[in-house]
Structure 1
Amino acid sequence: MTTTASERSTTEVAREAGRRRTFAVISHPDAGKSTLTEALALHAAAISSAGAVHGKGDRRGVTSDWMEMEQDRGISITSAALRIDYSDRVLNLVDTPGHADFSEDTYRVLSAVDCAIMLLDSAKGLEPQTLKLFDVCRARRMPVITFVNKWDRPGREPLELLDEIEQRIGLRPTPLNWPVGIAGDFRGLIDRSSGTYTKMTRTPGGASKAVEQVLPAEDAARIEGQEWGQASEEIELLGEIGADFDHDSFMAGESSPVLFGAALPNFGVGQLLETIVGLAPAPTAKTGTRDEPRPVDAPFSGQVFKMQANMDKNHRDRMAFVRVSSGRFDRGMVLTHAATGRPFATKYSQAVFGSERSTIDTAFPGDVIALVNAQALSVGDTLYDGPKVEFPPIPSFAPEHFVVARAVDAGKYKQFQRGIAQLDAEGVVQVLTSDVRGEQAPVLAAVGPLQFDVVRHRMEHEFRSPIDTSPLDYSVARRTDTESAPALHALSGAEVLRRRNDGELLVLVHNKWRLRVIEREHPGLFMEPLLAGGVEEDAY
């Protein structure tokens, strides 16, 4: 019996989807996320040396931090998609901003991945930003792998960290390896499944892989002495309390495999890479707005999770990052834009490694493709081939900071309008307007004030229209409707504006105290909490 071309194509897509692992790294600022990204790429032989080895003071070589402001300030502002071929697998690592002010970009990225690496600082443990991001993972029942970083520096006891994970977020930790030596005196790692010991020697500056020597338990005990004995006792305790890896609870988001290491000197990064390959899930069917699952071997479909303009200073382009959900993508194919029903040509499609680009001819479920000159697309849009599908929109984050933006030079009003519209489409900020304020004075809404720094920088340097921003005394936003809007707008300490990207009416209120007063005195007015990545903001 012979197979048809269609059957062969379906088989190919299913096979290639099974090879993909698409994941993001989530953490609190300064936990070492960009450094870990570099270290993973280094161990996978995707780069020759790690760019983050000199710390925050010299980040010019950091692969994932390509934006000028990122390199100047030593922070991650925008997400970056890194594709890595390793051990017959294709790893799609979607790096995310570490700074809390850019949380919304991180929430969008979490809609495009199948697994998360939760990165913890060995001295600080769970921090507020990590907790918020984990809440989103839990709401989506996303599997989480935990990596305890910076074990080469003074920190807390490993058992104390495990207890904190379980007590504070209800995630049962199941260590896969265990450190020998306290935090700050990192000797090596014991593999709990095999009992073997990997002794590590730091390389100069951490720019290359750490030297690893695998030893049997007897030799390790002789070399490490008391430290080995303490680590062995702690491993016995882990067995007694049942802290062993369970695949089903991991996939259900109930437990998390835990690994220890230090990304800067590249200790334990290889073990993390192997864990991602072995345990992180492959892409599965995604459900559309009509509650119909789109199997991975169905015709092509994908969703835009990020827009980015002017990545290449020589070409003022606009790039849409699309997570492939089903089917095979072939460069040049004409897709349908679900929001408009119009055709969308894909002549210019690329794989993106930080700021480096290469043309991509084919892609499969789990891959991230970058479509150039995507002026017609916005965050959350669906592209498809064959039977129609439209995936649920990606929720906008609840903003807490608001400013009015005005062009410094009235003669550059067109550049001002074009720049504001571009940044709105990319999701850099939310843009709110009203008939009272007019188009010349839009309100910019953000999670954190650093987002406004990005807007001012890009408006001046990319769109040649410097802006002035004046803060507004609001800190709370709620969704409302056309019936309630006039009454809310007339109240003291409240203002109703329309969000430009989706037309939603939002009421801005001075603070939560004033909001409670309005709710109590006007119970009939509609005010609904906004969502943050699928989690109600009040859940925080």
Structure 2
Amino acid sequence: MTIFSLLARKSGVLKRNPVQLHILEENVACMASYAKYAEHKTLECIRNIGISAHIDSGKTTLTERILFYTGRIAEMHEVKGKDNIGATMDSMELERQRGITIQSAATYTLWKDHNINIIDTPGHVDFTVEVERALRVLDGAILVLCAVGGVQSQTLTVNRQMKRYNVPCLAFINKLDRMGANPNRVLSQMRSKLGHNAAFLQLPIGLENETKGLVDLIKQKAVYFDGQFGEVVREDEIPRDMRSESEDKRQELIEHVSNVDEILGEMFLEEKIPNEGDIMAAIRRACLHRTFTPVLVGSALKNKGVQPLLNAVISYLPNPGEVENIALCENEGQETEKLVLRPERSKAHPFVGLAFKLEGGKFGQLTYLRCYQGMLLKGDHLYNVRTRKKVRVPRLVRLHSTEMEDVSEIYAGDIFALFGIDCASGDTFVTDAKVNLTMESMYIPDPVVSMSIMPANSKDRDNFSKAVARFTKEDPTFQFSYDSDNKETIVSGMGELHLEIYAQRMEREYGCPVHLGKPKVAFRETLAAPCQFDYLHKKQSGGAGQYARVTGIMEPLPPHQNTVLEFVDETIGTNVPKQFVPGVERGFRLMAQRGLLSGNKLSGIRFRLQDGAHHIVDSSELAFMLAAQGAVKEVFESGIWQILEPIMAVEVTAPEEFQGTVIGQLNKRHGIITGTDGLAAWFTLHAEVPLNDMFGYASELRSSTQGKGEFSMEYSRYSPVMPELQDALIQHYQESQGITQQQKKKKN
């Protein structure tokens, strides 16, 4: 009996139909002992990729097809879970019910003797941190675009994230079978909106209901996907009516690549005709340098174009050895040094790994790691560079959604998970305690929405505490605090859906139903004009006294920096001794936690310390901290202040007949229309709307468009609020402070 037969019998695959057995027989046989197989893998045969896109572009459906064609799963299931099973990568019950991805999920598979690690990420803006940490550890990505929607709001965000981490990508224009599909328009948007030097590698043969296959411009062949599940890939001659267009698009592809690749550029200038190998090699070089984006087409739902996409992943995206990963070497008394890690699959160099995601489970904390250098064996000891704690590795696993496979060793370039290790997201692990290397962590956006939360039953407080502790550790954008003034517990996140999902998870996973209060927007306070300060803090009432004087200027930062705080030490001489300057900064940042105008945080301010005075005996860091706090209060009284609010980039898609209604709704919500796109009988509206005015918009849009309208939004910037809203916020804060003062008097 073959290895495949044994494995198939164990997993129940032999009950499947012959087509599925044929697919599995080709690919799954080599998975019988994955750990042993991976041991002999060279770096050239490994790909770490992510699948990212705007919500509802087909990421999870595409991943399901990839797993099926590579033999990783025996059956395909749909995202919505109508058969009560749902897609493999949507393992959470809430994901299957809502038809959206909430948590990124990892898996691995094999295609043409290459090991492909895949992370399927959410598309909703509320879960954008999942995309951030996935792209931080991946070497390449597939940017999925809808053939109808094109470049949408979250596509722009994902594109920025890829640029931030310098991740090469392929573009896959999905949903060619949908009414109104127009891949040429999507390509045009990629060039204009995303700034990509992009060109087609394939052309669709027919669109919408007429989708039959695609034309491979490099091989100059038509490709069809036969069989019940599109598993049989058949090449044929290009249809006559597409030959002229194919020639033009092939020439366009060569020109776009020649502009960024010297070798192909020279051939182009010398009028040499490049062959298939020349073009593919040039595309790979340009793609690795992020100077060219190959564009592929297909329909994941209709099983078309997935196998050529897998071939493109192997042909054009980098292996771990082609990506430069930097670690910071920090030694006491020396400058921080940057070191390039060596991703060799051996013990020649010490192990270095980055924890990029935490997940609570029935076996304790599951920590996802990426190995950047060296190798790790089961039973080895790891050191957390941040805490310097030593831990033993009791179990090493590879992940396939929620399923786990134990392995005995891990090599550079692998993505894996550990159990029972207490750490934070972004921690670096090494096996040699003498190695003091730290990987750069990922970017974490600030929360924009806050809501009060409390358990429905007082007896559930223990479970509530456990749930909050777990979720805040897993998700750095989900934050928890206690408002002592209003006596409320506050949770903050990236949007209403974000907080709503966690509330539902508390009830489902911890049996703790909760009540969420009205959403609160994260307003900010800032200066409208520079203001000087000169504050003397003096306290002498017996014993050791306090003396500190600070002078300088507080000024607003430019609008594009109005979410940060800056402290600048401009002192010259010894009037303010250098050991007391950190106290001044601490005092400024403490005051910035709660403004005196509306009780919100300060942002967009630069505190310039220019001079001051100290006493040889009575001055201390505490005295200068109190002086800085007094200076900020002084500026509150004499300066001109304004309140900022988050502005969201909103994208609304609805049938054309409702365009006037939608525009009217956004105008009522103080929105500014920035652009419109029309396609067939639908329109897409782009606007900038204050987040404070967006609450309840989902139900209003659905009711006014007969349930056909959809919208998405993402954070854009902070901007000054309307004068009437500022007055209302100040009045509300003053009233709440007045009540608080009365409560304090009663207690006394």
- What is the TM-score normalised by the length of structure 1? 0.82
- Residues 359-382 of structure 1 show CA distances to partners (whole Å, capped at 9, x for unaligned) of 1222222222111233x1121111
Aligned residue number for residue 287 of structure 2: 250
**In 1: Cα distance, 2:226 partner to 2:315 partner:** 25
Q: Structure with the greater relative contact order (CA < 8 A, sep ≥ 6): 1 or 2? A: 1
Structure 1: 5+ residue stretches without partners: 1-11, 498-516, 528-535
Residues 145-184 of structure 1: pairs in structure 2 closer than 5 A: 145-184=170-209
CA contact 1:51–1:63 (8 Å) conserved in 2 = yes
SS in 1 for 2:235: strand
Aligned residue number for residue 146 of structure 2: 121
SS in 2 for 1:445: strand
Residues 327-346 of structure 1: pairs in structure 2 closer than 5 A: 327-346=374-393
Aligned residue number for residue 725 of structure 2: none
**In 2: Cα distance, 1:318 partner to 1:299 partner:** 25
Question: Does 1:521 pair with 2:626?
Answer: no
- Residues 3-35 of structure 1 show CA distances to partners (whole Å, capped at 9, x for unaligned) of xxxxxxxxx999633322111111111111100
Aligned residue number for residue 264 of structure 1: 301
Aligned residue number for residue 282 of structure 1: 319
Instruction: Return the match for 1:232 from 211, 234, 246.
Output: 246
Aligned residue number for residue 424 of structure 2: 378
**In 1: Cα distance, 2:483 partner to 2:186 partner:** 53
Judged with a 3 Å threshold, the aligned counterparts in structure 2 of structure 1 residues 367 and 135 are, in CA distance, closer, same or farther, namely same
Aligned residue number for residue 66 of structure 2: 40
CA contact 1:210–1:267 (8 Å) conserved in 2 = no
SS in 2 for 1:159: helix
**In 2: Cα distance, 1:165 partner to 1:47 partner:** 33
Instruction: Return the match for 1:188 from 208, 213, 224.
Output: 213
Question: Does 1:300 pair with 2:351?
Answer: yes
Judged with a 3 Å threshold, the aligned counterparts in structure 2 of structure 1 residues 277 and 59 are, in CA distance, closer, same or farther, namely farther
**In 1: Cα distance, 2:522 partner to 2:231 partner:** 47
CA contact 1:151–1:186 (8 Å) conserved in 2 = yes
**In 1: Cα distance, 2:111 partner to 2:186 partner:** 31
User: Considering only CA atoms, is the larger Rg found in Structure 1 or Structure 2?
Assistant: 2
**In 2: Cα distance, 1:190 partner to 1:425 partner:** 48
CA contact 2:197–2:256 (8 Å) conserved in 1 = no
- Residues 128-170 of structure 1 show CA distances to partners (whole Å, capped at 9, x for unaligned) of 0011110111222210100010112233443332221111111
Question: Does 1:132 pair with 2:173?
Answer: no
SS in 2 for 1:246: helix
Judged with a 3 Å threshold, the aligned counterparts in structure 2 of structure 1 residues 488 and 266 are, in CA distance, closer, same or farther, namely same
CA contact 1:430–1:445 (8 Å) conserved in 2 = yes
**In 1: Cα distance, 2:447 partner to 2:483 partner:** 21
**In 2: Cα distance, 1:236 partner to 1:279 partner:** 17
- Residues 168-217 of structure 1 show CA distances to partners (whole Å, capped at 9, x for unaligned) of 111011322222223442222222222121123462xxxx33433211x3
Question: Does 1:365 pair with 2:412?
Answer: yes
Instruction: Return the match for 1:448 from 490, 495, 515.
Output: 495
| Count of aligned residue pairs for this structure pair | 485
CA contact 2:287–2:317 (8 Å) conserved in 1 = no
Judged with a 3 Å threshold, the aligned counterparts in structure 2 of structure 1 residues 58 and 447 are, in CA distance, closer, same or farther, namely farther
**In 2: Cα distance, 1:340 partner to 1:381 partner:** 9
Which deviates more from structure 2 when the two are superposed, residues 281-290 or residues 256-265? Answer: 281-290
Aligned residue number for residue 127 of structure 2: 102
Question: Does 1:483 pair with 2:571?
Answer: no
User: How big is the shift at 1:82?
Assistant: 0.7
Which deviates more from structure 2 when the two are superposed, residues 27-36 or residues 80-89? Answer: 80-89
**In 1: Cα distance, 2:107 partner to 2:40 partner:** 22
In structure 2, give the amino acid aligned to 1:289: L
Aligned residue number for residue 395 of structure 1: 443
User: How big is the shift at 1:400?
Assistant: 1.4
**In 1: Cα distance, 2:304 partner to 2:595 partner:** 60
**In 1: Cα distance, 2:205 partner to 2:83 partner:** 31
- Residues 477-497 of structure 1 show CA distances to partners (whole Å, capped at 9, x for unaligned) of 645565243266142334349
Which deviates more from structure 2 when the two are superposed, residues 39-48 or residues 185-194? Answer: 185-194
Question: Does 1:412 pair with 2:460?
Answer: yes
Aligned residue number for residue 574 of structure 2: none
Instruction: Return the match for 1:457 from 497, 504, 523.
Output: 504
Structure 2: 5+ residue stretches without partners: 1-37, 259-281, 330-337, 525-562, 566-585, 603-635, 646-714, 720-748
CA contact 2:478–2:492 (8 Å) conserved in 1 = yes
Higher helix share goes to which structure?
2
User: How big is the shift at 1:127?
Assistant: 0.6
Judged with a 3 Å threshold, the aligned counterparts in structure 2 of structure 1 residues 239 and 461 are, in CA distance, closer, same or farther, namely closer
**In 2: Cα distance, 1:462 partner to 1:154 partner:** 40
